[in-house]
Amino acid sequence: MSGPNAPAVQDNAVVDLPTGFPLGSSPVAAELADRFHAAGHRLYLVGGSVRDALLGRLSGDLDFTTDARPPQILALLKGWADAIWDTGIAFGTVGAGKHGQTVEITTFRADSYDGVSRNPEVTFGDSIEGDLVRRDFTANAMAYDLVGRQLIDPTGGRRALRERVLDTPATPQESFSDDPLRMLRAARFASQLGFTVAPRVREAMAAMAGELGRITAERVQVELSKLLTGAHPRAGVELVVDAKLADVVLPELPAMKLEIDEHHQHKDVYTHSLTVLDQAIDLEEGPEPDLVLRLAALLHDIGKPATRRFEEGGGVSFHHHEVVGAKMVRKRLRALKYSKDITEDVAQLVYLHLRFHGYGGGEWTDSAVRRYVTDAEHLLPRLHKLVRADCTTRNRRKANALQRTYDDLERRIERIAAEEDLKRVRPDLDGNEIMRLLGLPPGPLVGRAWKFLKELRLDRGPLDHDEAVAELLAWARAEGVEPPAE
């Protein structure tokens, strides 16, 4: 890989370990290094493992590269590893587990790509430098010699880390032609690491965005998910949109960019959605990012462009955009091969995110509160966060009033839940008792009776047994079903 704009590659660019560099402290890495060295092979920690260690964020899984060929790697791992898997052996990669840690070892590569798919035509290399210069970004093009305890950095990766810049070892045009997924990976690293993208890389991304059409939906989805669950997802999303990648993989985002939000005239829908994403993240609880909440926050208003109407007098309306948006979310997330659970959860949050605005000054009946909780089901904690995050007005008095109103709704939910166990709202009679009382076999009519009793439960709260029986019998007679004589 070479070109007039490529970073200068330093021959034998070897530097001493920085003080406190943690990679040498891994017993698994040390054991592997000794094993490969004794067999006459070189073994290096490489890529993200080295990058993260230099950033002080060493992960549990380690990636290695070696001059040993795959059969030799397998032979060296046998008798040492607790588990071995060779699903990637066609690409030169062997995985192993030891002491609860996962490692991957890959033979030096000198890949070329076919220019149609993202699949490499695997060619094994003979030098660590040759392996490093074919990698995606200079920050990932470093290796650590475990025996010599030296860092090998032929393309200025440490400088890139210091400057927090993503650049490519080759020209970005060469790199992205080889593997277009690297464009999305740049946005993912912007999110995960907080790095900026070199101007030439950004220009190449915008010019070559269409090449992402060669990438499978599953691979795109993985990168988008990692982007959204990074530490700085807004930066990653903005890069995806500005560099035209979203036009290919998530076109609903740029479609929002010029649409004016009727509640927030100072912002368009796209900017508003980014702010909601930021605010939803601030409300997350626990150590792990919430992908479902973040997807819902980013996509909650994607139905607005399709529902925009200009009203007389200069107003703008987006009636039923939550209904349209939920359908759009399902279509897009299915196309991206998200799981059924994630797709349905995000769509339901989008569908419900406006429901609260009917609460007004607390006019909802207890029945309406029960329905809100029942419709949200397990998503209620996320819905609370999404609704609160959706308040982006600059009018502090209005914002505080909305938050106080939602506080009131949450208190009512807690009160009713304590009295009625809302998490388990069920009819006061179960299916077996419905069949016994009505003399019915299992079938659709029993389901309709069950649904009637559930609606009654939502409207009126818990009924005592005799009252529930009387209501069921009256419903059955109205439906033309004559209960058996006692």
Tell the burial category of 195 from Cβ atoms under 10 Å away from its Cβ (0-12, 13-18, 19+).
Answer: buried
Helical H runs in 82-216? 128-132, 157-163, 172-178, 181-193, 199-208
- Concatenate the DSSP letters of all residues of 21-36 into one string: --GGG-HHHHHHHHHH
d(CA 415, CA 362): 14
d(CA 228, CA 236): 8
Q: Would the pLDDT of 310 be above 90?
A: no
pLDDT at 6: 39
3-state helix, strand, coil in the chain (%, to 5): 55, 10, 35
d(CA 286, CA 283): 10
Single-letter amino acid, residue 367:
S
d(CA 78, CA 383): 50
Over residues 213-229, the pLDDT tens digits come to 999 999 999 999 999 99
Strand pairing of 93-98 and 14-16? unpaired
- Concatenate the DSSP letters of all residues of 424-457 into one string: G---SS-HHHHHHHHT--SSHHHHHHHHHHHHHH
pLDDT at 261: 47
Mean pLDDT, rounded, of the chain: 86
Q: How far is CA 398 from the centre of its chain?
A: 32
d(CA 316, CA 299): 20
pLDDT at 116: 56
Average pLDDT over residues 262-268: 52
For residue 398, what pLDDT band results from cuts at 50, 70 and 90? confident
Asked if 430 contacts 438 with a C-beta cutoff of 8 angstroms, the reply is no
Q: Would the pLDDT of 415 be above 60?
A: yes
Asked if 362 contacts 410 with a C-beta cutoff of 8 angstroms, the reply is no
Over residues 375-385, the pLDDT tens digits come to 998 999 999 99
Q: Would the pLDDT of 10 be above 60?
A: no
Over residues 90-125, the pLDDT tens digits come to 889 999 999 888 999 999 987 555 555 555 566 888
Note the maximum CA span of the chain. Answer: 96
Nearest residue to 270 via CA among 231, 300, 314: 300
For residue 14, what pLDDT band results from cuts at 50, 70 and 90? very low
Q: Would the pLDDT of 314 be above 70?
A: no
pLDDT at 473: 86
Sheet containing strand 150-152, strands side by side: 14-16, 150-152, 143-145, 43-46, 62-66, 101-107, 93-98, 83-85
What proportion of the chain, given as a percentage, has pLDDT over 90?
Answer: 56
For residue 407, what pLDDT band results from cuts at 50, 70 and 90? very high
d(CA 65, CA 74): 14
For residue 1, what pLDDT band results from cuts at 50, 70 and 90? very low
d(CA 275, CA 200): 28
Q: How far apart are the first and last CA of the chain?
A: 88
Which residues on neighbouring strands pair with residue 196, listed in sequence order? Answer: 165
108 or 26, which is more confident: 108
pLDDT at 142: 95
Asked if 143 contacts 158 with a C-beta cutoff of 8 angstroms, the reply is no
Average pLDDT over residues 401-412: 90
Q: Which fold has domain 14-163?
A: Beta Polymerase; domain 2 (3.30.460)
300 or 116, which is more confident: 300
Which own/partner pairs from 85-93 qualify as long-range (CB within 8 Å, at least 24 positions apart)? 90/122, 91/120, 91/122, 92/122, 92/124
pLDDT at 349: 97
